[in-house]
Amino acid sequence: MEYGMIMGEMAGENKTAAGRGKRGGSALVMVLFIIVILTMLIGSFGFEAHLEARYAAYARDRIKATPRAQPGGVLAEMMMTRAGGGAGASQLPDSQNRWFDAMERLRLGQEIKGLVQPLGEGFIIVDIEPEPGRLNVNLLTREDWEILLGNIGIPEEYHEGIIDPILDWKEPGEMPRPKGAKTDDYYSRLDPPYKAKGGPLDTVRELLLVKGFSEAILTGGVFDPMTVEGDPALISSTHIRSVKVHDDRDSLIYISGIEHMLTTYGDGKINIQSAPYDVLRTLPGVDEILAYAIMEERESVLNDEPNPFRSAQDLFGRIEGLDPSIANRITVQSQYYRITATGRVGMVERRIWCIAFNDGRQLRYLRWCEEP
């Protein structure tokens, strides 16, 4: 009897110890769980604090960058006015003028790229480009468009479906070309509907309103033939479509874009002093070799002095193999300029750009854009 009682007491003690062990294990799991939750919360708060600090730093630098972009326009205006012989042109000797080389390039019809001026905690970057280094989109002929579209990689079978609509867009009347488009037969059927312009384009990006044009044609990417051939009821007014990804990626048509080559200013003549490779290649008969030869020769030096082209005749005298027909399509001077002033503080930039008309005496701003 006593033995049984002793064994019973021992069994009870074992059960009690086991219960305490289970309760202790559960408590330990709970503590670990709470520690994990707290760690995650602390990490989340820390990450949010880091993001807020980064955002605050970005906002602070952006505020500082804005007033640095604005003086860049003043600097550009000063150089262009003096280069043109305007006010103050002779007040500063060349030997004391830190901007003399830049102003000389402007005087010779050349561009200025990446002119840096320190300012406080940051600096200003100024670009001044003769706008006739681009093609005036309002003055392009059908032949010009053929060359332009071919150069960026659009197959010839789609050219007419792009060229006819842009020619129709600029001309009044309601009789479309074979693959063109007018208000009644196309633009009024879009969602939302609108009217064909019946006049010159105001901006290059207005091309996105024209049948056949897409963001890819302007800025480069995958060319979607549906923007040329599609039903107007299926195409948005901005003509921006998503291209289906094919299993065979070799079947996709990649193009380089035309926006950087176009302008709506100038008389249509191309400034060979500043025109980039892509624009030079649109001149009849100018192949890759001739385009690079022109670019190299205009940056040449003779007797330690810059030796750009002085005239169209000078170009033909120095570059062999050019088509004589381009003589009436080129120039070495400009009156329209694209000025870009970038204020930078740290890694933050604020950019202002404008189109200015310079008659040699004063600067008139025709368009002004402050990027957000």
* Mean pLDDT of the region 184-199: 93
| Confidence label for 68 from pLDDT (cuts 50, 70 and 90) | low
| Confidence label for 208 from pLDDT (cuts 50, 70 and 90) | very high
**pLDDT higher than 60, residue 227:** yes
Write out pLDDT tens, residues 237-257: 444 444 444 445 557 899 999
pLDDT reported for residue 297: 95
- Between 323 and 13, whose confidence is greater? 323
Say what percent of the chain tops pLDDT 90: 48
- Between 59 and 321, whose confidence is greater? 321
* Mean pLDDT of the region 135-161: 96
Q: Which residues of 43-69 are buried (b: 16+ CB within 10 A; e: fewer)?
A: eeeeeeeeeeeeeeeeeebeebbeebb
- Between 124 and 238, whose confidence is greater? 124
Q: Which of 31-40, 93-102, 269-278, 323-332 has the lowest mean pLDDT?
A: 93-102
Q: Which residues of 207-231 are buried (b: 16+ CB within 10 A; e: fewer)?
A: bbbbbbbbbbbbebbebbeebbeee
Q: Which of 18-22, 68-72, 156-160, 313-317 has the lowest mean pLDDT?
A: 18-22
Q: Which of 153-157, 186-190, 249-253 has the lowest mean pLDDT?
A: 249-253
| Confidence label for 73 from pLDDT (cuts 50, 70 and 90) | confident
> For the chain, first and last CA: distance in Å?
95
- Between 352 and 14, whose confidence is greater? 352
Q: Which residues contact 254 (CB under 8 A, 6 or more apart)?
A: 153, 220, 221, 222, 223
245: number of Cβ within 10 Å: 8
- Between 363 and 58, whose confidence is greater? 363
| Confidence label for 235 from pLDDT (cuts 50, 70 and 90) | low
| Confidence label for 16 from pLDDT (cuts 50, 70 and 90) | low
* Mean pLDDT of the region 268-286: 95
CA 23 to chain centre: 67
| Confidence label for 97 from pLDDT (cuts 50, 70 and 90) | low
**What domains are there in the chain, each with its CATH number?**
59-137+263-372 (no CATH), 154-255 (1.10.40)
* Mean pLDDT of the region 219-231: 84
Q: Which of 86-90, 112-116, 340-344 has the lowest mean pLDDT?
A: 86-90
231/180 Cα distance (integer angstroms): 13
| Confidence label for 108 from pLDDT (cuts 50, 70 and 90) | confident
pLDDT reported for residue 89: 41
